[in-house]
Amino acid sequence: MPYEIYISTTRKRLALVKDGKVIKRYPIGVGKMLTPTPTGTYTIINKAPNPGGPFGVMWMGLSRPHYGIHGTDTPSSIGKNVSKGCVRMHNNHVLELSKIVPIGTKVVIRA
């Protein structure tokens, strides 16, 4: 896959990488202390526009069940440890990202 996503939970940043080079960085919100974002290597297994609830305008599910990268109806939560483990993005950012990366894209989550 030419695209990969790298997430730093401590920096609260998501980096979009193409052919080994960072082409875009986004601010994110991550899991809180009791429900941390799980570290590891996953893949994007599905995409759901307008999933409803607190997930904003787009859901991209990860190969780890019940976890994903999604938009938010609370933009002030970006940059904070607030979720139940998912990665939150501004709605315009998650829409942009979802148009670029295909299903099957590797997602690496580190502390």
- Three state DSSP letters for 3-59: EEEEEECCCCEEEEEECCEEEEEEECEEECCCCCCCCEEEEEEEEEECCCHHHCCEE
Is residue 13 pLDDT above 90, yes or no?
yes
pLDDT tens profile 59-96: 999 999 999 999 999 999 999 999 999 999 999 999 99
Active-site pick, 66, 86, 90, 93: 86
In whole angstroms, how large is the CA radius of gyration of the chain?
A: 12
C-alpha dihedral (64, 107, 101, 88), degrees to nearest 10: 70
Active-site pick, 66, 70, 90, 93: 70
Question: Quick one: CA dihedral 4, 42, 99, 73, positive or negative?
Answer: negative
* Number of Cα atoms under 13 Å in the Cβ half of residue 63: 13
Angle, vertex CA 10, rays to CA 70 and CA 104, nearest 5: 40
The two structure tokens encoding residue 50: 């307008």
Whether residue 86 lies in the annotated active site: yes
pLDDT of residue 36: 98
What's this model's pTM, rounded to 2 decimal places? Answer: 0.97
Whether residue 66 lies in the annotated active site: no
Burial of 101 (0-12, 13-18, 19+ CB in 10 A): buried
